[in-house]
Amino acid sequence: MACIQGTTGEWEMVIGLEVHAQITSKAKLFSGASTVFGNEPNANVSFVDAAFPGMLPVINKKCVEHAVRTGLGLKAQINLTSVFDRKNYFYADLPAGYQISQFLQPIVGKGEIILDLKGGETRTVGITRLHLEQDAGKSMHDQSPKETYVDLNRAGVALMEIVSEPDMRSAEETAAYLKKLRAIVRYLGTCDGNMDEGSMRCDVNLSMRRMGDETLGTRCEIKNVNSIRFAMQAIEYEARRQVEILESGGTVDQETRLWDTTKGITRTMRSKEEAHDYRYFPDPDLLPLKLDAAWVDDIAKTLPELPDDKKNRFIKDYGLTVYDAMVLTAEKENADFFEKVAKGRDGKLASNWVTSGLFGVLNKTGKDISQSPISAEALGGLIDLISDDTISSRIAKDVFEEMLETGKEAATIVKEKGLRQVTDIGAITAEIDKILEANADKVAQYKAGKDKLFGFFVGQVMKATGGKANPAALSKILKEKLSS
């Protein structure tokens, strides 16, 4: 729980998010124009998107299906009747003069998201609604000193606006919410979740209240935040700003603000007085959207295992800690990779090598699992050599490094370098005898009570065997020898 310490007491953050998630679809919501990212400006524009007179919108079934799918993934109510409204405003990048959205009757109602927090704790955040709407075009002010250009490639692209209850209480919870939502839509395949390409953007609503208060304070809305890190920074800044106002006896103006990434501050975009009156009304070109209950049931049958279920299964089936299970299921590709490694092997061992070993390397080199220098099969091969005592965990670390460098199989490296561990009791005993003989003085000290020397003897035997002595056998024999 993040509370902010003011000069007059403690304050609590109250945060609700509106996330715009672009639906994965080849065509736009009401036209057949392409949605490919990065095309030449105005290459993806149909007459409908450009709002030529007489053009009529036709709903894209795939987008409706994805909205329903997402709703089901959020354990939300699916509304079999929903209505498209016109949200009217004038802007150069909105040729129709209105955006088609859903206002009073959205396609998806109340649902929930479970946040994964530090230490394996969870917290449930309510979803208020999810509705379908069109994206707007883009005004480009940086192309010419005198003119503004308009790119309509995004105009009409299908968005899901996902609105949360004001249930979050800190920047960390907000980050956890965004991560979980992104994971869910990626698992479902309904949005690619790429915030840097604008496929997921959020408006952060934040108000402050005295710790223990039940009523909500006046909120500000920080528009169009396009990364989780920026959302967290904006929240920290905005919370302090509001506390300062409230503690000096002022009131927070309900307004729309922007996060200035270069200055690291939020600043006013428009106040409540300047707020738009959108004059929503049902779009006369579109009938109410009626869904068949059987169709919704069919979609429900095709839902994949979602992050929460996968996490719980990993804990149960592989004996993983909540934390490891959370890390492994955050991205579906990572979870799939882990399951390939773990198949028929010790789950905990597999989890350690994937999370601490491989993820560590991937993080350092900025790669994702699809670019992993070691395949799941190869990592499994290394784990097999540990499990059947061919190599110790200590040697396995060196083999792992070698695999990263050369791309060779673990078994090949062990063979070429002669790393097979010595499990032959006779051979280990012989080495121990040699070391004890050469260090008779230390043996005497050990026997006189200097227990710490045990590690010294282990080290010496390991050194003599090139680190290849089986650690368990070595420790056992050494103990016997020293106690005789």
Beta carbon nearer to ligand ADP, 125 or 320:
125
Residues 325-354 touching ligand ADP, rule: CB under 6 A, are none
Stretch that binds ligand ADP, among 83-91, 97-105, 162-170, 361-369 (CB under 6 A): 162-170
| Closest separation in Å from C-beta 15 to ligand ADP | 6
| Closest separation in Å from C-beta 126 to ligand ADP | 8
Beta carbon nearer to ligand ADP, 233 or 460:
233
Residues 195-214 touching ligand ADP, rule: CB under 6 A, are 205-207
Beta carbon nearer to ligand ADP, 27 or 163:
163
Residues 29-88 touching ligand ADP, rule: CB under 6 A, are none
Beta carbon nearer to ligand ADP, 269 or 361:
269
Q: Is 104 near ligand ADP (CB under 6 A)?
A: no
Query: Which amino acid is present at 469?
Result: A
Q: Is 17 near ligand ADP (CB under 6 A)?
A: yes
Applying CB under 6 A, which of residues 166, 193, 347, 357 lies at the interface with ligand ADP?
166
Beta carbon nearer to ligand ADP, 16 or 71:
16
Stretch that binds ligand ADP, among 67-75, 163-171, 295-303, 445-453 (CB under 6 A): 163-171
Q: If binding means CB under 6 A, how many residues of this protein chain bind ligand ADP?
A: 16
Applying CB under 6 A, which of residues 93, 165, 192, 305 lies at the interface with ligand ADP?
165
CB atoms within 10 A of CB 145: 6
| Closest separation in Å from C-beta 17 to ligand ADP | 5
| Closest separation in Å from C-beta 218 to ligand ADP | 7
What SS3 string covers the chain?
A: CCEEECCCCEEEEEEEEEEEEECCCCECCCCCCECCCCCCCCCCCCCCCCCCCCCCCCCCHHHHHHHHHHHHHCCCCECCEECCEEEECCCCCCCCCEEEECCCCCCECCEEEEEECHHHCEEEEEEEEEEEEECCCEEECCCCCCCCEEECCCCCCEEEEEEECCCECCHHHHHHHHHHHHHHHHHHCCCCCCHHHCCEEEEEEEEEEECCCCCCCCCEEEEEECCHHHHHHHHHHHHHHHHHHHHCCCCCCCEEEEEECCCCEEEEEEEHHHCCCCCCEECCCCCCEECCHHHHHHHHHCCCCCHHHHHHHHHHHHCCCHHHHHHHHCCHHHHHHHHHHHCCCCHHHHHHHHHHHHHHHHHHHCCCHHHCCCCHHHHHHHHHHHHCCCCCHHHHHHHHHHHHHHCCCHHHHHHHHCCCCECCHHHHHHHHHHHHHHCHHHHHHHHCCCCCHHHHHHHHHHHHCCCCECHHHHHHHHHHHHHC
Tokens of 342: 């773990």
| Closest separation in Å from C-beta 242 to ligand ADP | 10
Beta carbon nearer to ligand ADP, 165 or 398:
165
Residues 214-243 touching ligand ADP, rule: CB under 6 A, are 216-217, 219, 221
Do 204 and 221 contact (CB within 8 A), yes or no? yes
Cβ-closest residue to ligand ADP?
16
| Closest separation in Å from C-beta 113 to ligand ADP | 12
Cα atoms in the 13 Å half-sphere on the side-chain side of 87: 16
Q: Is 470 near ligand ADP (CB under 6 A)?
A: no
Applying CB under 6 A, which of residues 2, 4, 6, 18 lies at the interface with ligand ADP?
18
| Closest separation in Å from C-beta 141 to ligand ADP | 26
Applying CB under 6 A, which of residues 14, 63, 315, 358 lies at the interface with ligand ADP?
14
| Closest separation in Å from C-beta 221 to ligand ADP | 6
Applying CB under 6 A, which of residues 83, 115, 163, 243 lies at the interface with ligand ADP?
163
> Residues in the site for ligand ADP, rule: CB under 6 A?
14-18, 163-166, 205-207, 216-217, 219, 221
